[in-house]
Amino acid sequence: MQANIPTTDKPRIVIVGGGFAGLKLARELAKSPVQIVLIDKNNFHQFQPLFYQVATAGLEPSSILFPLRKVFQSHKNIHIRVTELLEIEPDKNRIQTDLGPISYDELVIAVGASTNFFGMKNVQKYSRPMKSVNEALSLRNTILENYEKALTAKTETEQVALMNIAVVGGGPTGVEVSGTLAEMRDRILPKDYPELNFQKMNIYLIEASSQLLNGMSEESSRKSQAYLRKLGVNVLLGTLVTDYDGNTITTKDGTKIPSKTLVWAAGIMGNPVNGLPQEAFFRGGRLRTDGFHKVEGTENIYAVGDISYMEADKNYPNGHPQVAQVAIQQAENLGKNLKNKLKHRVPRSFMYKDLGSMATVGKNLAVVDLPFVKFQGFMAWLVWMFVHLMSIVGVKNRLLIFVNWAWNYVTYDQSLRLIIRSNTKEEPKKSNLTPPKPTPIIDEDIEEDIEPHYEIVEDMEEESLTGI
């Protein structure tokens, strides 16, 4: 196969990944005298902060997706290819993809991150992550299918396990999905399944550290915990999950929790990238970059977003949090630097400006931390909704989400509780190239220190003040 990229005498910038960083960078460079090749395994941009609402039947998947080609319809210098990165060949200035080789003058890696299961094979096999719209839909199917099965369960023990839901990870995703599930249990599911006794249903939020929302203020952490307990969520702090067999969750202290639905929101790691020098990799699969986003050990390869690890910012000596606002600001800075390079100007080093963070717990319940003020409750909930709504790509998507939110607010009843299965199985892709090597493993001393505290990584993944 061939990528069929038109030849040009302009510098070619290849951007791998159409997430927040990749999309922002392509937009930043769209009017520059360059050729841009944007590749992604999907033909759409995904708004990750609202995956949990798709998983809990609050929003249609299409309302948080936007076609990449529609974004760039008026820019003839941008070429989009739906494919996956297989390998980088720095010495040849090209990448290998499913569509064949693509050469570049500048390469930007913005592949984002995936779920980190910390080496727990059973958890990876049986739990439900939520890092893509497909995974969110799979979780929705699992929840609804389990309630269908609960209707015909042979024993009460089996029925309770089918009804119980556990969420691992006390960051914004874990808090938000737990609160939403609690509201579904109290307001919606009893109407759909009147034969089931939902007083038997337990929702567990399991966090390995001593508090929720570690990346936010202590006040927000305490308030979110109080909100969740008011909603009837069993918040288990200082509890480390060690195993899950699809039926029972096992914690480090030996506690057994029956549940056939485990939502894993406890950590992320960079998506694998093959072909770069060993010194380019950092813990969690991230790529080491200098203050100008250049990957260590390379000359014309850059990394932005969740995959990037930068120590140069004096305010974040341990690297920036893996949140979308960092990705957007990094992409904006890199875009300006690449334009300055065309004009032979001095590049500008990156300095992250933290605009704040927020999380919603339920109807009229949210927490917001701004650099100058912190507040909770109804006003925080309104701010959360406004910021997220304005961050969605596309006017039509904003309207759809607003209508869904307004309807849900008035009726407490979504109409999207559909079990949608695929009837076909995708054939495994074949390639004559060596598959990407696993992300380098961190040394034993570091791993021993980090694994018991995987919740810290999770807290860095979530959305910032701008809702993304």
Q: Indicate if 367 and 319 belong to the same structural domain.
A: no
Q: Is residue 192 part of a domain?
A: yes
Q: What percent of the chain has pLDDT over 90?
A: 81
Digit-coded pLDDT (tens) for 323-348: 999 999 999 999 999 999 999 999 99
CB 213 within 8 Å of CB 171: yes
CATH at residue 165: 3.50.50.100
In 3D space, the residue among 256, 147, 263, 253 whose CA is nearest the CA of residue 200 turns out to be 147
Distance CA 146, CA 385 (A): 30
Residues spanned by the domain of 251: 121-266+356-411
Q: Domain check: are 381 and 337 in the same one?
A: no
Same domain, 233 and 282: no
> Is pLDDT above 60 for 120?
yes
Would 89 be classed as within a structural domain? yes
Distance (Å, whole) CA 380 – CA 467: 13
Based on the domain organization, do 259 and 185 belong to the same domain? yes
Domain-located, residue 468: no
Q: Residue 356: what pLDDT?
A: 92
Query: 224-273: per-residue pLDDT in tens?
Result: 999 999 999 999 999 999 999 999 999 999 999 999 999 999 989 999 99
CB atoms within 10 A of CB 445: 8
Answer yes or no: is 68 within a domain: no
Is 241 found in the same domain as 143?
yes
Q: 10 Å Cβ neighbour count for 4?
A: 10
Last residue of a domain, one of 411, 430, 454: 411
List, for residues 146-193, the tens digit of each pLDDT value. 999 999 999 999 999 999 999 999 999 999 999 999 999 999 999 999
155 and 278 in a common domain: no
Is 153 found in the same domain as 242? yes
Q: Give domain status of residue 3, yes or no.
A: no
In a domain, 134, yes or no: yes
- Residue 207 sits in the same domain as residue 249: yes
Statement to judge: residues 322 and 196 lie in one domain: no
What is the count of structural domains for the chain? 2
Helix ranges restricted to H, 343-443: 378-391, 395-411
Indicate the pTM of the whole model.
Answer: 0.87
CA dihedral defined by 394, 398, 403, 408, rounded to 10 degrees?
130
Same domain (yes/no): 286, 381: no
End-of-domain residue from the set 354, 374, 400: 354
Of 372, 396, 411, which one is at a domain's C-terminal end?
Answer: 411
- The amino acid at residue 442 is I
Return phi, psi of residue 266, to 5°.
Answer: -105, 5
* pLDDT of res. 422: 67
